[in-house]
A = this chain, B = another copy of it.
Amino acid sequence: MNSMISVRGVSKHYETARGLVRSLENVSLEVEQGEFITLVGPSGCGKSTMLNLMAGLLEPTSGEVLVDGKVVTGPGPDRGVIFQQYALFPWLTALQNVEFGLRLQHMKKTERRELAQHYLDLVGLGEFAHALPKELSGGMKQRCAIARAYAVQPSTLLMDEPFGALDALTRVNMQENLLETWQQERRTAVFITHDVDEAVFLATRVVVMSPRPGRISEIIDVPLAYPRTEEMRLSPEFAELRARVWRGVHHHAEEDAA
């Protein structure tokens, strides 16, 4: 089949003063074009590491990562990334932050501005277009980062806990937004979350990771149809999937704690 992202026998080790840290150990994963993968796992199990490898921001210690059939050698605008730490440019306003990527696509000023404003509105920051990052609350910064990644309309979206700092309602809205555009434009998405509900609601497949060394411990197919609705969340099928994912994460975490 048509693999958009192939992770092939990838390990990522860090040499630290305390010894070797095996962030990822011999991990393989195929993500197909148009798939929506969610990554779950206990804190520190290597989710961000995996995402950064796909983004081309890290180099594997061994193995290789392919995107669209080509070995990843660096980041590119084909893969949009939402960082766990927002990474907004502090000297630019919210609007300018969103425009940053558009400017690189040589979009005309009015068009660019309009599009950026559109995405800010989408994440509920329309009024704060001219605010600097330091004037935004935590959740607002996160939403600004989301708008920035969406705006460039990358064919693959790599998201590291993008909705972590959002309140429940905003979060649900953002989930629905995301699914909507993903469906329309058949993007590929890799999404890290700690929210099991969210993991199931969004994904075609949930990838469960376990720590030390970071490995994929389970891959759970989510056979629910799109568009996903709020009712689905209440379905027994959903509950069952949620429980499976929870156990997946839980199980290894318990082991870890032991």
Enumerate chain A interface residues (CB-CB to B < 8 A): 14, 16-18, 21, 40-44, 47-48, 84-85, 124, 130-131, 135-140, 143, 160-161, 164-171, 194-196, 246, 249-250, 253-254, 257
Instruction: Point out the residues of chain B lying under 8 angstroms from A43, CB to CB.
Output: 124, 137-140, 143, 165-167, 170
User: How distant is A238 from chain B, measured CB to nearest CB, in Å?
Assistant: 16
Question: How far, in whole Å, are A43 and B164 apart by their CA atoms in the complex?
Answer: 11
Q: Is the CB of B40 within 8 A of A84?
A: no
Instruction: Point out the residues of chain B lying under 8 angstroms from A41, CB to CB.
Output: 167
- Chain B residue nearest in CB terms to A140: B44
Q: Is the CB of B249 within 8 A of A42?
A: no
Instruction: Point out the residues of chain B lying under 8 angstroms from A249, CB to CB.
Output: 167-169
Q: Is the CB of A161 within 8 A of B170?
A: no
Question: How far, in whole Å, are A42 and B226 apart by their CA atoms in the complex?
Answer: 28
- Picked from B16, B164, B169, the residue with its CB within 8 Å of the CB of A253 is B169
User: How distant is A49 from chain B, measured CB to nearest CB, in Å?
Assistant: 8
Number of copies of this chain that the complex holds = 2
Question: How far, in whole Å, are A40 and B139 apart by their CA atoms in the complex?
Answer: 13
Q: Is the CB of B16 within 8 A of A131?
A: yes
- Chain B residue nearest in CB terms to A143: B43
Question: How far, in whole Å, are A21 and B130 apart by their CA atoms in the complex?
Answer: 12
User: How distant is A146 from chain B, measured CB to nearest CB, in Å?
Assistant: 12
Q: Is the CB of B130 within 8 A of A84?
A: no
Instruction: Point out the residues of chain B lying under 8 angstroms from A14, CB to CB.
Output: 135
Residue of A14, A16, A42, A250 ringed by the most chain B CB atoms within 10 A:
A42
Question: How far, in whole Å, are A253 and B171 apart by their CA atoms in the complex?
Answer: 12
Question: How far, in whole Å, are A249 and B166 apart by their CA atoms in the complex?
Answer: 12
User: How distant is A101 from chain B, measured CB to nearest CB, in Å?
Assistant: 23
User: How distant is A122 from chain B, measured CB to nearest CB, in Å?
Assistant: 12
Q: Is the CB of A42 within 8 A of B170?
A: yes
Q: Given A42-B167, A43-B143, A167-B42, are A16 and B135 neighbors across the interface (CB < 8 Å)?
A: yes
User: How distant is A30 from chain B, measured CB to nearest CB, in Å?
Assistant: 24
Instruction: Point out the residues of chain B lying under 8 angstroms from A195, CB to CB.
Output: 168
Q: Is the CB of B168 within 8 A of A44?
A: no
Q: Given A161-B165, A168-B196, A246-B168, are A84 and B138 neighbors across the interface (CB < 8 Å)?
A: yes
User: How distant is A53 from chain B, measured CB to nearest CB, in Å?
Assistant: 14
Instruction: Point out the residues of chain B lying under 8 angstroms from A18, CB to CB.
Output: 130-131
Question: How far, in whole Å, are A85 and B165 apart by their CA atoms in the complex?
Answer: 11
